[in-house]
Amino acid sequence: MAFRNIAEPATFTGDAACASCHEDQYAGYQAHGMANSFYHLNAETAVEDFPGPWVRDPNGGYEYRAERNGDRFVQVEILRDASGREIHRLEREMRFVMGSGTTARTYFDESQGYLYELPLTWYTQEGRWDFSPGYRVANKRFDRKVPERCMACHNAYPEAVPETGGKYISIPEGISCERCHGPGSLHVSERLAVPEPVSEVDSTIVNPAHLAFERRLDVCQQCHLHTTVSLLKEGQGAFDYRPSHDLSSWVAMFASTEPESDDEIAVISHADRMKQSACFIETLAVGASLECTTCHNPHQGFRTSGPEYFNQTCLTCHQPAELELVAAHDASANCIDCHMPKVESSEAPHSSFTDHKIRVVSTRDERANSLPTERLSELEPDQELVAYRSAGEPAVYQAMAYVVLGRRRGDVPMMLRGADLLDGLAGEEELFGEAHFLRGLARLQTGDARGAVPGLQAATGADGEIPERLNALAQAYEALGQNRATIESLYRRAVTAQPARADIWVNLGRFLEASGRVDDAVDAYREAVRQEPWLPEGAYNLGTALARAGAFDEARAYLLESVALEPRNPQAWGNLGAVYGQMGAPDSSRYAFEQAVELAPRDPVALGNLGAFLLNVAEYDLAIEYLDRAVQEDPGFADALANRALAHLRQGERASARLYAGRALEAAPGHALAGQILQEVN
C-alpha cells in the first residue's frame, strides 16, 4: 500500500510527538542502541576510564590521551622532541559520543557547525582506549569532519547546510522513530483531530509491518548494508531515503566481487548474510520468511538481556530434543555462540560483530575466521566492481564508482579507469552533472588539467552554482593559465553560492595573492578563518599574506595559530621565523627557523632561511654549513649562493666570496646582492 506521509508533503516532528500516544513503544525504544546512537558526553553518560594511557601514532609521532577535568572531557595531542621534551600541545573537547557503547564509543568536537572526529575511541568490549577506526593507518588528527552520509546512519536527520560536506545548523541526539516510520507531521495532525483511522491500516504513517518483504528489509538495510562503494543516485541527498522506498532508487551499490560467492563476500551486511542461511531459505519457501525483526524487536533494547532473549526465537522452530547431538543442546545452551559466531572486523579494531549467516560451524577455527573481513575493501587489478543489488544498474554509476574508490585510495589507475569509462559514455549518451564532475575531477587530480576541462565545463553547465564544481573548474583554468578574470569569477561564484566553504575562500585568496592583490587576498583569507577557524590552511595563508603586507603583529598571531593547528608545516615555521626577525625577536626567530629545518631537513628554502639568519647574527661558519646544504639540494638557489658569498666576505675570504657571487649571478643574472659583492671584491 502507499503511505501518505511518503507520497504527500510531511515533515519530521521528533520523538517527543510520538511519546504521548505510544508510551510503551517509546519507553522500550529508549533502551535500544539506535535511540542511543548519538548524544552529549557529560558526567551522567560517561563510562570510560579517565585519564587514559598515552596512545602513540607510530607514523607521525603524535601522542594522544583522554582526560577529564571536572565535567569537561578532552582529548589531548602532544609532540615530543628527541629528548622527550613536549614541544606541541593541542586539545579538543569530547562534546558528543557516537555509538551506543555495545561495541565502541567515538567522540566529536564542534566548531562553527562542523563536527570533527577525535583520534581516540573507547572500545567497550575490551575496556580500552585506542585509535578510532582508520586512524592507525592514516591519522587525521582533529581534522576529520563528519560528512552527511555518515551522519545519516548514525543519528536522526540533522538540519544541514547544503554544499558544505558536513556543516549543521542543529544536531538531534539518537536515531529517531521517524527513521523507520517516515516523517510524522501528517500522522500527528490527523490522529489529534480524529484519534482512530477509518481503515484498518493507518495510511498517515509508514508501518513497516505492512510493507512488502524486500521493502521491510530495506528499512534496515538503509544503514546495515555496506558495500565496497555506494553512490547517491542523481537527485538524491544523504537524508532523502524514506521507508517503503526501494533502496536502489536512493543509492547505487557496487561490490568488488560477485555477491553470490560465499567465500568472497565483499560486504558487511547482516541482512544479506541472513539470506544465505538455511533458516531464511526454508522459511521463505513456506511464506513465513525469517527477517531482521524475527529476532530484533526495534522497540526493545536487548544489550543487557541474556542468551535466552535470542534463544527463544530459535526454539520456535528448533526443539533441543530433536537436534543432532553435535554439542550439548540442553536448555542452557546458547544457540548464537555456535551458529552465529562473532568475527573481528578489520574496520573496527578491538571489536567483533555477529555473523548473521546461521549455520553449523564445525570447528573453532572456522568460527574465528568465518568472514574474510581483510578483503572487504580490496580490489585487485583484474577484478571488477559489480552492481550489488540490481544487474540493470546504469553503466554510468559503475564508472563513477571507479573514480570514487580510486580517490578514496589514492589509486591513480583506478581513477583514470573510471574517467575513461565516463568519457566513452559521454560520447554515447547525455550524462548528468555529477557524472561529468567526477569525469573531470579524476583528470584534474591526476595532473591532466586540460583533459579535465570538458567534464568540468559540462558539470557547471548542468548546474552552474554548485561550489565544488565551480572550484574545480577554476583550478583547472588556473593550471592552464587561462583568463584571470574568468578564474576569479568562478571562485567568487562558488563562495557566493555557499559562503561557508572556507577551502574555496583559501583558493580565492591564494589566486589573488599570486596576482599581486595582497589586500584582496587578506580579505579572502579572513573570511576563510571566520568560516572555519580550525582550518590550518586558513591561518597559514592569512598570516603569510599579512606578513607580506607588513602587518607583522597580526601575522605572528595567525602563524602561531597555524603551527598550533599543524605543527608539521615547515613553511609556516619558516614564515614565522621571518616575522620574528622583522619584529626584532632573534631567539624566537631562530627557534622557528630551526623547527622548519627539523621538519624538512632537505628543503632548500628552510635551509637557506636558517643560513641567512645565522649570517645576520654573525655565526658565519654555521651559516655556511646550512647555506651549503641548501645549494646541494638546489644548485641554482641564487639567494643561498649570494648569502654564502657574503658570509665568506665577512670572514675576509675574498676568493670564496668572488666564487659564490659569480655562481649566484649565473643562476640569476642581475641578482643585486651578488652584484654588490663582486664589485667589492674585484
Give 219-225's long-range contacts (Cβ < 8 A, gap of 24+). 219/180, 219/243, 220/270, 220/271, 220/292, 221/247, 221/269, 221/271, 222/153, 222/247, 222/250, 223/152, 223/153, 224/269, 224/270, 224/271, 224/292, 225/253, 225/267, 225/269, 225/271, 225/272
Q: What is the DSSP letter of 107?
A: E
Residue 260 pLDDT: 42
**Nine-digit cell string for 444:** 584534474
Is 269 a member of any domain?
no
Sign of the torsion angle spanned by Cα atoms 547, 553, 557, 560:
positive
Residue 348 pLDDT: 63
Is 81 a member of any domain?
yes
Question: Which residues on adjacent β-strands are paired with residue 343?
Answer: 353
Strand 342-345 to 225-226 pairing = unpaired
Q: Which residue type sits at 1?
A: M
pLDDT band at 350 (very low <50, low <70, confident <90, very high): low
> How buried is residue 561: exposed, middle or buried, by Cβ count under 10 Å (0-12/13-18/19+)?
buried
pLDDT for 291-313, tens place per residue?
A: 999 999 999 988 777 778 888 88
How far is Cα 215 from Cα 182, in angstroms, rounded to an integer?
13
| Domain edge (last residue) among 158, 174, 190 | 174
- Residue 463 CA, chain-centre distance (Å), reads 25
Provide DSSP, 232-261.
EPTT--TT---TTS-GGGTEEEEESS-TT-
How far is Cα 111 from Cα 117, in angstroms, rounded to an integer?
12
| Domain edge (last residue) among 156, 174, 192 | 174
Q: Find the distance separating the first CA and the last CA of the chain, reported in whole Å.
A: 97
pLDDT for 97-123, tens place per residue?
A: 999 988 899 999 999 999 999 999 999
pLDDT band at 351 (very low <50, low <70, confident <90, very high): low
For the cut 70, the answer to whether the pLDDT of residue 475 exceeds it is: yes
Domain enclosing residue 58, as ranges: 38-174
For the cut 80, the answer to whether the pLDDT of residue 261 exceeds it is: no
Please, are residues 469 and 437 in contact by the beta-carbon 8 Å criterion?
yes
Average pLDDT over residues 313-327: 76
Is 58 a member of any domain?
yes
**Nine-digit cell string for 30:** 529508549
Q: Which residue type sits at 120?
A: L
Whether residue 119 has a cis bond before it, omega within 30° of 0: no
For the cut 80, the answer to whether the pLDDT of residue 380 exceeds it is: no
Is 628 a member of any domain?
yes
Tell me the average pLDDT of the chain: 91
Strand 72-80 to 63-69 pairing = antiparallel
Residue 601 pLDDT: 97
| Domain edge (last residue) among 174, 190, 218 | 174
Q: Give me the phi and psi of 446, to 5 degrees please.
A: -110, 15
Q: What is the DSSP letter of 80?
A: E
Is 605 a member of any domain?
yes
Is 86 a member of any domain?
yes
Pick the range with the lowest mean pLDDT from 5-9, 279-283, 364-368, 614-618: 364-368
Strand 251-255 to 386-387 pairing = antiparallel
How far is Cα 254 from Cα 390, in angstroms, rounded to an integer?
9
Is 679 a member of any domain?
yes
pLDDT band at 367 (very low <50, low <70, confident <90, very high): very low
Whose CA is closest to 565, among 597, 603, 607, 536? 536
Is 116 a member of any domain?
yes
Q: What is the b/e burial string over 27-49, where b = at least 16 CB atoms within 10 angstroms of the residue's CB?
A: ebbebbbbbbbbbebeeeebebe
Q: Please count the structural domains in the chain.
A: 2
pTM of the model: 0.91
Provide DSSP, 507-521.
HHHHHHHHTT-HHHH
pLDDT for 419-461, tens place per residue?
A: 999 999 998 888 999 999 999 999 999 999 999 999 999 999 9
* CATH assignment at residue 669: 1.25.40.10
Residue 33 pLDDT: 93
Whose CA is closest to 632, among 226, 624, 496? 624
Residue 369 pLDDT: 46
H/E stretch holding 268 reads: strand 268-269
pLDDT band at 371 (very low <50, low <70, confident <90, very high): very low
What percentage of the chain reaches a pLDDT higher than 70? 92
